[in-house]
Structure 1
Amino acid sequence: MGIVLDRKELIKYPFLKESQQLARRHVESLEEFLGSSPGVAALERAKERVVAALTFKKEFGDENTQNLKPEIEIASYAIARMLVSCINDRSLVDRLARYEAERASFFLAADEPEIRRFVAWSVGIDTGAVAMPVIRYVELVPHLRDRRWRLVNREIRQGGVNLEAGEIDELIRERIRAIIADQLPLRVPAGICERLAPVTGEIVALRQQQVLEQFGEIKEEAFPPCISALIQAITAGTNLTHMGRFAITSFLHTIGMNVAQIAEVFARAPDFDPDMTMYQVEHISGRGGTEYTPPSCATMRTFGLCTNRDRDCERVSHPLSYYRLKKNIKKKRN
């Protein structure tokens, strides 16, 4: 398209190739840049981006970027991607991608129509479309949770999915999120990750604090009966099914256990294989590219993993809800 965005516009959409080219022209050596005053400012702003992604901040218009040059603001986007890549936590990667997509969508809503068309075109979407080819539509919507996006709930004519007013904006946001997420994690040199370690350490500590606030200190006595039964089966030397391993690993990861702690649970098995266990745990915990959530009670029943049900099971529909419930009960009693 025949449009050129100025620098003030490019900082709103740092994922565009034009934005990245601007930053590259001013950052020849990453190591030298990080040691410079502009680099320090960009790193601080990068940390702000990641923290905002963690805390679900959406006050994009209040960002403190007035004193930053456009190329520094864009560089902060690149460094933010390095930060989450060095941490290598898929949930953090997903949150940053969602945050940046929400941010871009916020600015697009107020921008000129030609800029909106250009950004949408850059990510492969036509803002004037009233329908979208089925194959293209199916590629775009798998991570949109609202039932209205399911193909069975859509009107299809002549190989195209009809779109309602306003849905294009949601699809643009989702496309931006997917592009950013698919590019991560980056292969950041070990030396750069070491240099960024003080900042990544702060981010990891914040993430751990969030998990602690949500689920509190890990209490095995509050585990739901199904999870306790799986742990007992491991200790007894029983070979768990794939779904059993998936359920216990995703549950323990979600409530705050790290990979090493989860592996220690599997170490209770007589035939414990450290290498295989670490591979499986890391994959389910998100390092394979997708962070998985624990299966619901209905899914656990479907796979025959719902065992030793008690009265509290009748009050919940998910093992995580059971865990929160039992912890609250124990807290009140104490």
Structure 2
Amino acid sequence: MNSGGLSLYSMTRHLKYPFSQEARTMSQKLARDLGDLVKFVSLPENEHIVEAAEDRVYRALKDGYIQYPPFDDERDVLIYPTARVIVEGVRDSRLRAKQAEAEEKAVNRELGKEKPEFISEICATSFKWKIESTGDLSERAELPLQLRTFDFRIRFENFLEVSPMFKSREWALANRFLSRGWVLVRRAELVRMASAKFRQIILGSRLELPPLTGRLTQSVERIQSQLPKKREYTRPEETQETAFPPCMDLLYRTLKNGHHLAHAERFTLAAFLNKINVARDEIKRVFGYSPDARGAGSIIDYQVDHIASKGSRSYDDDSEDTGYMPYNCKRMRELGICPVDKGDVFDPLCEYVVNPLSFYNRRAWEVSKGYKPNPAYYGKNWEKRQEF
């Protein structure tokens, strides 16, 4: 099948930026929906599409890297959607995360080479973002000195679609230059926003697949065989203080040393101890070290009982009342009680979890097996969930 009049340059862009309006339109001309797509790529003459899609998924899984094949046929625009079909056919969140990360990196790499006009246009047409140029260098020379490095302005609501995905403080809206609803961004920042938006789309989409047959089924099975086996992180019967995440370890030691904890700190520590199956009497004993403890029947006893007996159920417990969940990492950072975020301590495992309980389960498993923390293993097998 020929290119239908499209230039090689245009087709290559369709392959690099499958989220673009042009790429989606071209894909739908060949296959209107998932049913059509599966039928189309299952034809013997289109087998190369499935092969390229499988290779794209395999490289994302093993190398975290997307390599584009030679692009000289308009059917090749279906390589990316076919790769998505394979990933959804495997039904593994780890693979979806690997694909999203690799595709994000590829877009960031390739879009960073494009001219500013193209970057702005593809963001506007693909994501419906409102973006304006701040002008060329001569025009920006009239701006205050601190604003001359910004290439674009984007509506704040579009900025907020992806900025919470970035943990660096410069991405907080409060730290940006905002005027009449427009946020100033640099060229590299807009590229990063676009690639992050693509990742967000992949992670947030779930495809209702028709039955897969033939070559597609083989691809799904082969990719499935390449996935590392999931490890079960069973919680130990006895509490292991050495497995506490840095935040809980600090709060626990602060309390046992007789120092005061703020209300939020007390709440999350009590909830954490309860969720890792520390006996309620033991939690009360620990909180008895607080300077304002007044013995049995005190307000602290009441608070511990309330935290331990109300709220949400744990995921693996069928009892009616299992207590409140401790704050997750995001909330801990917002409250200013995450010591890793403040730079006081660091543990590499923190980057791969989003709540203290996940940290405890994984670290307790490591301790029980005699394993030392292994950042290289974390990076190879898990998706990084936050950065410090």
Compute the TM-score of the two structures, normalised by the length of structure 1.
0.60
The corresponding residue for 1:187 is: 208
Letter in 1 for 2:220: T
Q: Distance in 2 between matches of 1:194 and 1:239?
A: 53
Q: Distance in 2 between matches of 1:223 and 1:122?
A: 56
The root-mean-square deviation of aligned C-alpha atoms, in Å, is 4.3
Q: Distance in 1 between matches of 2:216 and 2:83?
A: 10
Q: Say which SS state the counterpart of residue 6 (structure 1) adopts.
A: helix
Pairing of 1:9-24 with structure 2 (within 5 A)? 9-24=13-28
Check if 1:108 corresponds to 2:129: no
Pairing of 1:36-185 with structure 2 (within 5 A)? 36-55=43-62, 57-58=64-65, 60=66, 63=67, 65-66=69-70, 69-123=72-126, 124-125=128-129, 126=131, 128-129=133-134, 130-164=152-186, 166-182=188-204, 184-185=205-206
Q: Say which SS state the counterpart of residue 16 (structure 2) adopts.
A: coil
- Quote how far apart the aligned CAs of 1:100 are: 2.2
Check if 1:221 corresponds to 2:236: yes
Q: Which of 223, 239, 242 in structure 2 is aligned with 1:203?
A: 223
Give the conservation status (yes or no) of the 8 Å contact 1:224–1:319: no
Q: Say which SS state the counterpart of residue 221 (structure 1) adopts.
A: coil
* Post-superposition CA distance 1:116-166 (Å, at most 9, x none): 343233233437253333333223322222222112222323332232453
Q: Distance in 2 between matches of 1:73 and 1:87?
A: 22
Give the conservation status (yes or no) of the 8 Å contact 2:18–2:80: yes
Q: Distance in 2 between matches of 1:297 and 1:75?
A: 38
Letter in 2 for 1:128: S
Pairing of 1:183-332 with structure 2 (within 5 A)? 184-189=205-210, 191-192=211-212, 196-209=216-229, 211-212=230-231, 218-221=233-236, 230=275, 241-242=311-312, 244-245=313-314, 249=315, 265-266=316-317, 269=318, 295-296=328-329, 318-332=356-370
The corresponding residue for 1:289 is: none
Considering Cα pairs closer than 8 Å and 6+ residues apart, tell me whether 1 or 2 has the greater RCO. Answer: 1
Q: Distance in 1 between matches of 2:330 and 2:22?
A: 48
| Higher alpha-carbon deviation: 135-144 or 318-327 | 318-327
Higher helix share: 1
* Post-superposition CA distance 1:185-220 (Å, at most 9, x none): 12222x1379744433443444443x44xxxx5444
Give the conservation status (yes or no) of the 8 Å contact 2:41–2:47: yes
- Quote how far apart the aligned CAs of 1:71 are: 3.0
The corresponding residue for 1:6 is: 10
Change (3 A) 1:102 1:70: farther
Change (3 A) 1:118 1:64: closer
Q: Distance in 1 between matches of 2:180 and 2:117?
A: 29
Q: Distance in 2 between matches of 1:297 and 1:106?
A: 28
Q: Distance in 2 between matches of 1:8 and 1:49?
A: 15
Gaps (5+ residues) in structure 2?
1-5, 135-151, 241-270, 279-307, 321-326, 336-346, 351-355, 372-388
The corresponding residue for 1:276 is: none
Q: Distance in 2 between matches of 1:83 and 1:228?
A: 42
Letter in 1 for 2:58: V
* Post-superposition CA distance 1:240-288 (Å, at most 9, x none): 732x52xxx4xxxxxxxxxxxxxxx44xx477xxxxxxxxxxxxxxxxx
Question: How many residue pairs align between the two structures?
Answer: 263
**Bigger Rg, which one:** 2
Change (3 A) 1:181 1:128: farther
- Quote how far apart the aligned CAs of 1:13 are: 1.5
Give the conservation status (yes or no) of the 8 Å contact 1:93–1:185: no
- Using the aligned pairs only, state the percent identity: 19
Letter in 1 for 2:171: W
Q: Distance in 1 between matches of 2:215 and 2:273?
A: 42
* Post-superposition CA distance 1:272-323 (Å, at most 9, x none): xxxxxxxxxxxxxxxxxxxxxx935995xx9xxxxxxxxxxx9x97444444
Letter in 1 for 2:12: K
